[in-house]
Chain A
Amino acid sequence: MPAPRLQTAKLMRRNRRDRARVGGALVVLICIALGAMFFLERDAIAPALDALRRHGYVCLGAAAAFSAILVARRRALERVQFMRSWLAAVPVRSATARFEGLLFETLPASAALVVITLLALIAAVATSQLGAVVALWADFSGGVVLGIIIGYLIPAPKPVDLPPGSRYVPHRQVRKSTPIRPSLKALGQWPIRQMFAWAQPKAVARASIPILVMMPVGTMADTAMVVIALFAVVGALLLLWSAAQEQCRLAARWLAPLPVRASAVVRAFLLPAYAFIAGASAAEALLLVVFDVSYRGALMVGASTAVVGCLLFGGALLWNARPRRMQ
């Protein structure tokens, strides 16, 4: 029975593998490296395994919650994406469509199961803690399976059938028409807006998890907040730099046929971004003062951030806006 989505996925996987030339050897190498690491650190791992085993229900619950969210989100996303795909108009029997849907929607959770099993095998061989490893494997795998079931019990959100970039996407209401005035001001706001677009709440929340995990046990809440705020400032500057790279390249290509002075473009890009960098550096210095760093030290760090940020941003702008030779 033809299963076009599955067939496409298989072909794409094969093509991707052929293109990237990454074989199973890499996976084996990673497994061996992990095994060696587990073996060398087996004395340190044993108490950690015991601690996790004592909190088996927590592990199970965390895995279930993670898997349920993953599956529920993917269900909604996959269905919308499939409706827009090149295979949407292809005939597929309903049983096959359901089977394909199930496979694609549970793919990350199934992959997590495989990774958990693989890690458990490596840990069992390397640490000789068979009992603890099997118990933990059962907790995590059970949690993932439970999560998959819960993910299907959670009612799917109302399908969003707005084509991206379509005229039907609700847009900002403009009360009165404002006259269009010639200005390059929008260029400078472009990287900043891109930075905010990338820093979606979901992305920020995900980025905060490893920071919170890295904090030692017993860290005060206010200290944690300051650390997160510092990471946010640094993250914003990195995102701005990255956005500048991309937007300057695009702007250079877009504006190339126009008789616009390079200095005007550079000025339009630099001024708002430098203002943002200055503000972020000031916020960083302030947070360091809150963090009990001396005024002088905080000022030094803030000034360094501002100088480095401005130099990097300017460098990225000039590098990406440079005229290119035809290939």
Chain B
Amino acid sequence: MSGIILEIRELRAGYGRRTVLENISISLAAGEWFVLLGPNGCGKSTLLDCVVGRLRPSGGEIHIGGFPLLQDPYEAKLRLGYGCAPDVLPALLTARQCLEVHAAAKEQVGIGADLLALAEELRFTPYLESFVDTLSLGTRQKLAVLLALVGDPLLIVLDEAFNGLDPASALILKRHLRARTERRGGAILLATHSLDIVEHYADCAAVLIDGKLKHVWPKAELQRLRANQTDFETALAAAIGET
């Protein structure tokens, strides 16, 4: 298998007659953490929806682990972990049942020890037997992230996964994701507004404006910004022309 985990080529997508994404091409290599930035309504979640197969793009190609998502969704999704929005989690299932369903779908014999260790670190274990509708927003967010990690997927797709998390849990999760990508050789695609992730954890970043990639910071450029101790907020403003 090649070192490319996610390959998006000339992706176009929209809702009804409205085009939201135009000509998006992104490539994620093994071990890379890609952060997608952009103002509200620019199409970040739509892009992620296309990558995880929740929205059928009107054009372009998406390959996950070398498998085309549109032609071979089963093989592509076997290599994918998606942290859905906490509000779509099923209210009438317990957290343990949610994890079991995901594990069964990914043909796992059980929940990995490292995932249970992460749940313990995130202080999630006491909520395993609780129904989803009784969990707080932050706890549901933790569950959504844990679901994304079931089956040790090659590609982890997270949509604003740190929203609602307490700072300690957010830090644990960031370190875990960083360590996981390095150990596993997988990749992370994260849509967020937190610039600290770009500053400290990301390998690549891109800013999406009005459905188009306005600027992409490759690994070398991010490393240069870090080495020069450049404030990323300023770099982002310069990239989108708001200096």
Residues of A within 8 A of B (CB): 2, 4, 7-8, 11-12, 15-16, 19, 83-94, 161-163, 166-168, 170
Contacts and interface: CB of A to CB of B under 8 A. Distances in A.
Given A4-B105, A15-B92, A86-B89, A92 B74 contact: yes
Given A7-B101, A168-B20, A88 B52 contact: yes
Interface in B131-170: 131, 147, 157
Nearest to A161: B15
Given A94-B74, A168-B15, A88 B54 contact: yes
Question: Chain B at the A interface: mostly helix, strand, loop or mixed?
Answer: mixed
Contacts of B242: none
Interface string B79-116: 01010100011101110011001101111000000000
A7 B105 CA distance: 10
B55 A91 contact: no
* Most chain B beta-carbon neighbours within 10 Å: one of A19, A83, A87: A87
Contacts of B41: 167
A83 B55 CA distance: 7
Given A12-B93, A15-B92, A162-B16, A91 B82 contact: no
B16 A84 contact: no
Contacts of B88: 84-86
A15 B15 contact: no
B104 A4 contact: yes
Given A7-B101, A93-B74, A15 B106 contact: no
B78 A91 contact: yes
Given A7-B104, A15-B131, 17 more contacts: A4-B101, A4-B102, A8-B90, A12-B90, A15-B97, A83-B55, A86-B90, A86-B147, A88-B52, A88-B53, A89-B54, A89-B80, A91-B106, A92-B105, A94-B73, A162-B16, A163-B15
A94 B92 CA distance: 26
B18 interface: yes
B97 A11 contact: yes
A162 B16 CA distance: 7
A147 B201 CA distance: 57
Contacts of B104: 2, 4, 7
B39 to A, nearest CB: 12
Tier of interface size on chain B: 35 or more
Contacts of B54: 83-84, 88-89
A19 B16 CA distance: 41
A168 B18 contact: yes
A89 B101 contact: no
B44 interface: no
B105 A90 contact: yes
Contacts of A16: 92
A163 B131 CA distance: 26
A205 to B, nearest CB: 27
A91 B131 contact: no
B77 interface: yes
B146 to A, nearest CB: 12
Contact of A86 (B15, B55, B80, B84): B84
Contacts of A83: 54-55
Nearest to A4: B105
A19 B91 CA distance: 12
A244 B106 CA distance: 47
Given A89-B80, A89-B82, A168-B20, A162 B92 contact: no
B121 to A, nearest CB: 23
